[in-house]
């Protein structure tokens, strides 16, 4: 059980404080309710660009990293389809440094052509390195556009194409900043060696005067249920063939999300998983094979990816995967196998609660989703999953007409 206190400042900033006096450190995170799904379809990649711009200096701080390092701290950030989170870890006695840094860049970033052009170049190089020049690197571009015909998950976090970032103007980024990176669109979380009353006073002192924003009310069109198989074959400069299977599944707060997550662990988590035992170890059909869920807030994807061993026909490899999926759909999982899965997942959740960073990020994440208390409910949800739940969700997800299939073939191969 993670205990915390929650406050809301007059400007709408939600503040969550978790005291943990077992550590000399404190983590301060600011989660913003903005990800790639909040972007305009013709101006994508902006949320990820801002992950970089937010370190480019603000009204009173030219260099974000230097004061952090002098305070003995470290910082980082991540962006995904749904949200962005900036976090700082430092000795508890220097906590106010993080409040100063985070509040200053929330108040007003430094907007000038030099900073913008520098960060655009960084992001463009990252796009080239991870998507264009990396084998299978454009996988998310293909699968996202296949699986999402209406919802803005149809492009990955890094953006649809390089030109959207290259052509971003100063006015574009200013508008995006003041529409999204405001206190009433954010959650400030403090976890670690602190006193709740003191932490709240620091939040009020440093963030209380930042004006609210004019947050756009975006209505996301739900992705219609899929009733057709979608397939794509890409001939590319890749070292070996690869299979990617993406099945639309439930949204993050649905119990069916947790069931699907458990299914992927059953299939591919560790040496006792079915894919590892049957397809890798026994049949030796794959050099690597994995299964995971995307974790999107709205309806997400259950993904299976595998690289067949040399000489294995791609169609035989796909059929081997389907045999495992059909087994899940029609044969109840053994009670001891299910109990082991549930307990392993719950142990992972408990272990993650040791880290103040994990607790801070999770509290902010669930509050962005609507309720930070959800952090204390997940273990019970996993424990409530039954054999019937697994079969039901497997039958709903693993339909041929619910499949988005992407196949990579090496350019010099006909197979």
Averages of pLDDT over runs of 10 residues in the chain (415 residues) are 96 98 97 97 96 91 91 95 97 97 94 92 96 96 97 97 96 95 98 97 98 90 95 96 98 97 95 95 96 97 98 96 97 93 85 89 96 93 95 98 98 65
**Tell me, what's the pLDDT at 415?**
44
Dihedral angle sign, alpha carbons of residues 142, 144, 148, 150: negative
Class of residue 364 by CB neighbours under 10 A (exposed 0-12, middle 13-18, buried 19+): buried
Going from the C-alpha of 28 to that of each of 88, 91, 98, 210, 386, the distances in angstroms are 5, 11, 7, 18, 38
Distance CA 23, CA 5 (A): 19
Helix or strand holding residue 147 (H, E): helix 139-147
Q: What is the pLDDT of residue 413?
A: 65
Q: What is the pTM of this model?
A: 0.95
Q: Are 205 and 104 in contact (CB under 8 A)?
A: no
**Cα separation of 77 and 374, whole Å?**
22
Question: Which positions ≥6 away from 187 have C-beta within 8 Å?
Answer: 13, 14, 15, 16, 30, 31, 33, 363, 364, 367, 368
Among 380, 351, 297, 371, smallest CA distance to 16 is for 371
pLDDT at 374: 94
Q: How many CB atoms lie within 10 A of CB 196?
A: 16
Contact between 234 and 142 under an 8 Å Cβ cutoff? The reply is yes
* DSSP designation for 275: I
Nearest in space to 85 (alpha carbons), one of 12, 159, 32, 15: 32
Between the CA of residue 314 and those of 3, 84, 126, 233, 307, what are the distances in Å? Answer: 50, 38, 31, 11, 9
DSSP string for 256-268: HHHHHHHHHHHHH
Q: DSSP H helical segments within 168-313, as ranges? A: 170-180, 196-207, 255-268, 274
In this prediction, residue 414 carries a pLDDT of 53
Q: Give the orientation angle of helix 335-352 with respect to helix 387-397, to 10 degrees.
A: 90
CA separation for the pair 69, 55 (Å, rounded): 14
CA distances, 280 to each of 2, 22, 337, 340 (Å): 39, 43, 19, 21
Q: What is the pLDDT of residue 139?
A: 97
Residues β-bridged to residue 15: 7, 188
């Amino acid at each position: 059980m993670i205990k915390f206190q929650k406050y809301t400042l007059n400007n709408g900033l939600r503040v969550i404080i978790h005291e943990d006096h077992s550590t000399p450190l404190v983590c301060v995170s600011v989660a913003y309710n903005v990800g790639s799904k909040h972007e305009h379809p013709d101006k994508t990649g902006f949320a990820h660009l801002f992950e970089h711009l937010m370190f480019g200096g603000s009204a009173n701080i030219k260099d974000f990293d230097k004061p952090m390092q002098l305070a003995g701290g470290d910082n980082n950030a991540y962006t995904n389809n749904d949200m962005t989170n900036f976090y700082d870890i430092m000795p508890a006695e220097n906590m106010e440094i993080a409040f100063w840094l985070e509040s200053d860049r929330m108040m007003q970033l430094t907007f000038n052509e030099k900073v913008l052009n520098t960060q655009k170049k960084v992001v463009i190089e990252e796009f080239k390195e991870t998507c264009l020049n990396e084998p299978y690197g454009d996988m998310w571009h293909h699968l996202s556009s296949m699986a999402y015909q209406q919802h803005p998950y149809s492009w990955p976090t890094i953006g649809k194409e390089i030109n959207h970032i290259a052509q971003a103007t100063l006015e574009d980024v200013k508008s995006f900043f003041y529409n999204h990176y405001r206190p009433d669109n954010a959650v400030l979380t403090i976890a670690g060696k602190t006193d709740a009353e003191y932490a709240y006073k620091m939040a009020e002192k440093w963030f209380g005067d930042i004006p609210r924003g004019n947050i756009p009310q975006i209505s996301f069109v739900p992705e219609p249920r899929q009733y057709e198989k979608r397939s794509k074959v890409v001939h590319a400069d890749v070292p070996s063939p690869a299979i990617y299977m993406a099945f639309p599944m439930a949204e993050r707060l649905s119990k069916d999300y947790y069931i699907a997550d458990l299914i992927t662990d059953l299939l591919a988590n560790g040496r006792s998983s079915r894919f590892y035992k049957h397809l890798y170890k026994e049949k030796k059909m794959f050099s690597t094979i994995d299964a995971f869920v995307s974790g999107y807030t709205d309806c997400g994807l259950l993904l299976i990816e595998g690289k067949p061993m040399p000489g294995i026909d791609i169609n035989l490899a796909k059929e081997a995967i389907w045999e495992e999926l059909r087994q899940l759909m029609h044969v109840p999982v053994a009670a001891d196998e299910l109990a082991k899965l549930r307990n392993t997942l719950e142990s992972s959740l408990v272990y993650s609660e040791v880290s103040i960073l994990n607790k801070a990020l999770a509290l902010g994440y669930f509050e962005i989703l609507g309720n930070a208390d959800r952090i204390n409910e997940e273990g019970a949800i996993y424990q409530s999953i039954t054999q019937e739940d697994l079969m039901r969700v497997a039958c709903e997800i693993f339909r041929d007409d619910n499949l988005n299939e992407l196949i990579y073939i090496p350019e010099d191969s006909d197979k």
